[in-house]
Structure 1
Amino acid sequence: MDIFSYVEDVVSPEDSLIFCKWLFPDFVVFEDSVILAMKFDEAAFRIWLQHFSGDKAGVEKMLNHTHLYDVFSGCGSSVGEVVFEQLSNVLAMSWRMVLKERFPDRRFHVEATNSDQEYGPVVTFHEVRGEKGTDLFFLL
């Protein structure tokens, strides 16, 4: 079955729109930190800022931390690990593009990981803050 036939038979326009919002998310800029809008909570931000002793990159990594197993918790074990790994790489690539487009004067580190220390594949990002006057580049 080709992709168009699959979409025609299985996927609704609402499903497509929701998935697009995940691939191309909205962001909140709060106290000069960039946080996924779907994960922003001011109280949590302040708690993590205190926990990380004012390190905004640490707060961003924590609040933007997204476990793919949690996003797709309704699938159970019916999906192979390789699918989650591939999806985490696609999500990371998409977030890199969106962050670069929406914040061209900032640089971000977006990572997709799958380690024994985590609960399955994870995607997160944080701003790379450097000295003023240095050339900014976008980490891939």
Structure 2
Amino acid sequence: MDDLDIHDLTEFRSWSTAFDPPIDDPTFFLSNHLSITSALLFSDLMFPACVLVRDCVIRKEIYDPDTFERWWRETGGATEAIENVLNHVHLWDVFEPKEDAEYQALEILAPRIAQTWKTHAQGQFPGRTICTEVNDDYGPTITMWSARGTRTTGRDAS
């Protein structure tokens, strides 16, 4: 797990050692802790559906016509700036790390999410070059945009 032993995470270690002998199966841990609803919502975070609005690739779950129009006006239609503002997630807003190992886990999770965003969006818009970035804006932050000079065919949501 990218330089993090799952036993470094207190929640897993506490659960695992409650059994005799301890259980080290992450799948069994998930089956005891993860609801179908949480799994589905997490998969939506990992593999977001996107829409094309005025040449901007926007994550569908956060697309709001009024917000988009406000950013369109404020940026003078700068598509990359709009995509960068709308297509970002601060993992600290999604997860509340409680210990050093959980902060480290988010540092591992962020590039994984960025990679799936890039791959999934590229599949939705194959005529476009999708870019992602992870930075430490407010904790691990993932951002996605499409490189200029690339176009795709497809239905525009606007």
CA apart distance, 1:76: 5.1
- Is 2:69 aligned against 1:50? no
Name the amino acid aligned to 1:90. Answer: R
CA apart distance, 1:80: 2.9
Name the amino acid aligned to 2:98. Answer: S
Among all aligned residue pairs of Structure 1 and Structure 2, give the percentage whose two residues are the same amino acid.
Answer: 29
TM-score, structure 1 length as denominator? Answer: 0.82
SS in 1 for 2:128: coil
- Please list the CA deviations of residues 54-98 of structure 1 after superposition, one character each: whole Å capped at 9, or x if unmatched: 2111000000111111112xx353463211111111110110110
TM-score, structure 2 length as denominator? Answer: 0.74
Aligned residue for 2:61? 38
Q: Hey, what's the Cα distance between the residues in 2 that align with 1:91 and 1:104?
A: 19
SS in 2 for 1:126: strand
Structure number with greater Rg is 2
Distance 1:131 1:67, change over 3 A: closer
Aligned residue for 1:67? 90
Q: Hey, what's the Cα distance between the residues in 1 that align with 2:97 and 2:39?
A: 21
SS in 2 for 1:129: coil
Aligned residue for 2:98? 77
Distance 1:32 1:112, change over 3 A: same
Distance 1:131 1:42, change over 3 A: closer
Unaligned runs of 5+ in 2: 1-23, 152-158
Name the amino acid aligned to 2:107. Answer: E
Distance 1:20 1:8, change over 3 A: same
Aligned residue for 1:26? 49
CA apart distance, 1:10: 1.4
Name the amino acid aligned to 1:47. Answer: R
Distance 1:61 1:9, change over 3 A: same
The partner residue of 2:124 within 96, 99, 102 is 102
SS in 2 for 1:80: helix
Q: How many residues align?
A: 127
Q: Hey, what's the Cα distance between the residues in 2 that align with 1:44 and 1:37?
A: 13
